[in-house]
Amino acid sequence: SDNEAQLKAVNEALEQRVRERTAELQALFDSASVGIVLVRDGLIMHGNRRLDELFGYPPGAQLGRPARQWLANPDAGLADDADTTARLARGETLRQDVEVRRGDGEHFWVRLSRRVIDPANPQRGMVGVLEDITTERDAMDEMLRAKTLAEEASRMKSDFLANMSHEIRTPMNAIIGMSYLALNAELPPSLQNYLSKAQRSAHALLRILNDI
């Protein structure tokens, strides 16, 4: 009948629109510069192209595998304590820097954001967004190394100055003491003049050492 034909045409048009919309969303999904994954019951149910690129797998090869395969150290990977579980249950988005590994075993770092799809029904799964931050981490490590080297250089300089000051101050004090004793003795005026000048110079050097 005409009504059935019209209904069929409408259904076909709707299905076509759904297919087109799905293709558009898939294109957006795959063009993202970060890895996007849907995890349900700990298994990878869906992931975009960037996710496979990050971990060095062919497209779709990770589907059905446990997400924990990514962790470089499963015992010290994701925070899964009671507080984390409660926050996820409230619908919060959790972010954490995690060390992971590619399919070939190479380690790298990602910033992982995760959120359950429906806090009222956690069985629907969790969405994760993974951003490669290896370059950022390397820069931070380099800054830390530079800071450590600078602190070590400063410490060595301080130790050197302290040792040098001590080594010079000891004979300088002896010169000042001996010249003081000599000035208290009966000496020719010219010799007293020489010793007095030497003592003043020694005091001046000692002040410089104390400033250093």
How much is the average pLDDT of 185-192?
A: 84
pLDDT for residue 109: 94
Classify strands 126-132 and 35-40 as parallel, antiparallel or unpaired: antiparallel
- Write out the DSSP string of 19-79: HHHHHHHHHHHHH-SSEEEEEETTEEEEE-HHHHHHHT--TTTTTTSBGGGGBSSGGGSS-
Classify strands 126-132 and 107-116 as parallel, antiparallel or unpaired: antiparallel
pLDDT for residue 56: 94
Tell me how far apart the alpha carbons of residues 100 and 109 are, in angstroms, rounded to a whole number.
6
pLDDT at 135 over 80: yes
Tell me how far apart the alpha carbons of residues 83 and 40 are, in angstroms, rounded to a whole number.
20
Tell me how far apart the alpha carbons of residues 100 and 68 are, in angstroms, rounded to a whole number.
9
For residue 50, give Cα distances in angstroms to 89, 109, 112, 142, 165. 27, 15, 14, 27, 62
Percent of the chain with pLDDT over 70: 94
pLDDT at 77 over 70: no
Virtual torsion, Cα 153, 158, 161, 165, nearest 10 deg: -160
Q: How many CB atoms lie within 10 A of CB 70?
A: 27
Please report, as a single letter, which amino acid is at residue 134.
T
pLDDT for residue 54: 93
Lowest mean pLDDT across 32-41, 74-83, 148-157, 187-196: 74-83
- The angle that helices 134-183 and 189-211 make with each other, rounded to 10 degrees, is 160
- State how far Cα 9 lies from the chain centre: 57
Please report, as a single letter, which amino acid is at residue 207.
R
pLDDT for residue 159: 85
33, 50 contact by CB (below 8 A): yes
